[in-house]
């Protein structure tokens, strides 16, 4: 799958980015973290969430006792959009099957969606991020629980919302713990 993503030219983004950003972390992780798309730093180094938003993401994960290397981190899009514009629906439609395959391979116990793009595309909905927070959604044939929170880049611009993100993270931790109690 890593090789197929690296060779992918299904949408036009690959021509304008440095490299694909597949994802990183524990391939048998219980937690799968999904963001939007690589930015400049991620495009340069090939690893998701390594810029300023990544530092906040790491702090958010650490707050619920999850070291970065204990989770698997990826994005809805594997290629950086030019000038970090919003991903287009057609680009997401081409790329999302790779995310579905990643979920099927990692088999996480919970998916944490950071931001509107990750949440709406995982859940195939137009609902606002505000409406998606605080509820356990489910993804795919195995009905993996999905919890939605704000994107760290948004929190850097709107630090007043961090308190709500903390509520979401605690909710995710409780959801994971409750799910863990059920034998699979």
Angle at CA of residue 49, ends 76 and 75, nearest 5°:
10
Residue number, 74 or 137, with CB nearest to ligand URA: 74
- Minimum distance, C-beta of residue 53 to ligand URA, in the bound complex (Å): 4
Question: What's the rounded Cα separation, in Å, for the pair 166 and 133?
Answer: 12
Residue least distant from ligand URA (Cβ): 35
Contact residues for ligand URA, defined by CB under 6 A? 35-39, 42, 48-49, 51, 53-54, 75, 153
Could you tell me the smallest distance in angstroms from the CB atom of residue 101 to ligand URA? 18
CB of 181 to ligand URA, least distance (A): 31
**For residues 89 and 183, which CB has a smaller minimum distance to ligand URA in the complex?**
89
Residue with tokens 């919890």: 147
Nearer to ligand URA, 42 or 94 (CB): 42
CB 72 within 8 A of CB 32: yes
CB-nearer residue toward ligand URA: 39 or 108? 39
Least distance from C-beta 37 to ligand URA, angstroms?
6
Which residues, including other chains, have CB under 8 Å from residue 48's CB and lie 6 or more apart? Answer: 21, 23, 24, 35, 38, 42, 54, 73, 74, 75
Contact 43, 33 (CB under 8 A): no
Which two three-digit tokens encode residue 63?
A: 């707050």
Q: DSSP character for 137?
A: E
Give the nearer residue to ligand URA in terms of CB position, either 73 or 110.
Answer: 73
**Considering the complex, what minimum distance in angstroms separates the CB of residue 118 from ligand URA?**
7
């Amino acid at each position: 799958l890593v090789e197929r993503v690296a060779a992918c030219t299904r949408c036009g983004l690959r021509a304008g980015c440095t490299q694909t950003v597949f994802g990183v972390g524990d391939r048998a992780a219980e937690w799968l973290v999904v963001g939007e798309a690589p930015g400049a730093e991620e495009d340069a180094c090939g690893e998701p969430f390594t810029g300023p938003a990544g530092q906040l993401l790491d702090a958010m994960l650490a707050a619920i006792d999850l070291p970065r290397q204990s989770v698997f981190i990826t994005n809805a899009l594997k290629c950086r959009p030019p000038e970090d514009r919003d991903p287009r629906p057609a680009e997401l439609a081409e790329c999302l099957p790779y995310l579905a395959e990643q979920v099927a391979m990692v088999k996480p116990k919970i998916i944490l969606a950071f931001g509107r793009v990750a949440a709406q595309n995982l859940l195939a909905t137009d609902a606002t991020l505000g409406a998606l927070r605080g509820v356990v959604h489910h993804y795919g044939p195995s009905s993996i629980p999905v919890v939605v929170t704000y994107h760290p880049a948004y929190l850097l611009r709107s630090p007043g919302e961090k308190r709500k993100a903390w509520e979401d993270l605690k909710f995710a931790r409780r959801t994971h713990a409750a799910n863990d109690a059920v034998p699979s």
